[in-house]
Amino acid sequence: MVKGLVTIASGLTAPSQIAVDCQSVYWISGGAGTLVMKAPIGGGTPTTLASGQDGQSGISIDSTSVYWTAAGMLRKVPIAGGVVTTLVPDTPTDGGGPLLPQEVVVHDDYVYFIDEDTTDQLNLQNLLMRVPSGGGAPSTLVPEGQGLQGAALGAPFAVDDSFVYWVGNFGNGEAMKTPIGGGAAITLGPGPGGNLAVDSKFLYWVSGSVGKIPLAGGASTTLAGNVTGPQEQTAGPGIAVDSSFVYWTNESGGTVEKVPLNGGAVITLASDQGFPSGLAIDDHSVYWANTAGTIMQLTPK
């Protein structure tokens, strides 16, 4: 047993993506009647915040609410529990068909999401959008045809105070960004995609390898190779970054690993995990979801 490794929750059905604040870890447990759940950091009795959330593909939190996508809708619930609010319903919108939110990132007063295009699977025209976290009309950030065409369904993205980042033109692998309030897509350079993380200088990804590219654009750098995944019905390997390291999960390898931001020896934090997927960090610990049915915490990270 790894010193400092704690099982926060067990007996779950295919948890994949997770989020963490100063008190709790949040996740979505799959299967029939999918549950949005939380448990105290360090372990304790899990609490169900919402049920019947089938078809989920993302989770994010702010200081008041948990946000997720499910069955073509974007929803939220108070972190203490309560009434579930639908921010983007699965209903027809002006000028077209229904919005189909996939993935979700909340930042400041907005919730960002990918509107999945289901009209032409060969020439996808997914839209990057946002909606006020308190409710309101969704708006499109990147005009159709600028960068998200061919992006994977539910393509992951990352957000900072100035830009939204994603990998578009799936297959060609172009890391891109747009101003946080919307505008033209800006190409940073080559990037293979996968789940993303961002700090003040670089955009990081995990997809077969762990790499980074400057936020201002330029050449990409490989930090680690041989990252396996995703497994069926998972969100792919998770990734997070702090001031010293990049952290990620290696699903098929059953490991959680890290590497210095500038490259170097890969450090294995935990092994023999049950298909680790989603990952989050705080100042002291690293957390991940094992698709085999557990939520884990390792301190120190």
| DSSP per-residue string spanning 226-252 | ----PPTTS----EEE-SSEEEEEETT
Kindly report the CATH number assigned to the domain that includes residue 205.
Answer: 2.120.10.30
C-alpha to C-alpha distance for 197 and 105, rounded to whole angstroms: 11
Q: Is residue 251 part of a domain?
A: no
- 48 within some domain: yes
With 0-12 CB in 10 A as exposed, 13-18 as middle and 19+ as buried, what is 187? middle
- Listed in sequence order, the residues at least 6 apart from 104 whose beta carbon sits closer than 8 Å to its beta carbon are 58, 59, 60, 67, 68, 69, 74, 111, 112, 113
Residue 298 lies in a domain: no
- State the residue for tokens 């993506």: 17
Instruction: Give residue 122's pLDDT.
Output: 47
In a domain, residue 209? The reply is yes
- Would you call the peptide bond into 214 cis, given omega within 30 degrees of 0 as the criterion? no
- Taking alpha carbons only, the member of 242, 238, 198, 205 closest to residue 220 is 205
Q: Considering the domain boundaries, does residue 3 fall inside one? A: no
- Enumerate residues 6+ apart whose C-beta is below 8 A from 89: 73
Query: What per-residue confidence (pLDDT) applies to 190?
Result: 87
pLDDT at 38 (0 to 100): 97
Residue 225 covered by a domain: yes
User: Which residues of the chain register pLDDT less than 50?
Assistant: 92, 94-95, 121-123, 150-154, 230-234
pLDDT of residue 90: 73
Structural domain includes residue 254 = no
Neighbours of 127 (CB within 10 A): 20
Parent domain of 166 = 13-234
Work out how many domains the chain is built from and give that number: 1
pLDDT of amino acid 55: 67
> Does residue 281 form part of some domain?
no
- Per residue in 119-177, pLDDT tens? 554 445 677 889 999 999 999 888 666 655 544 444 688 999 999 998 875 556 788 89
Are the C-beta atoms of residues 69 and 104 closer than 8 Å to each other? yes
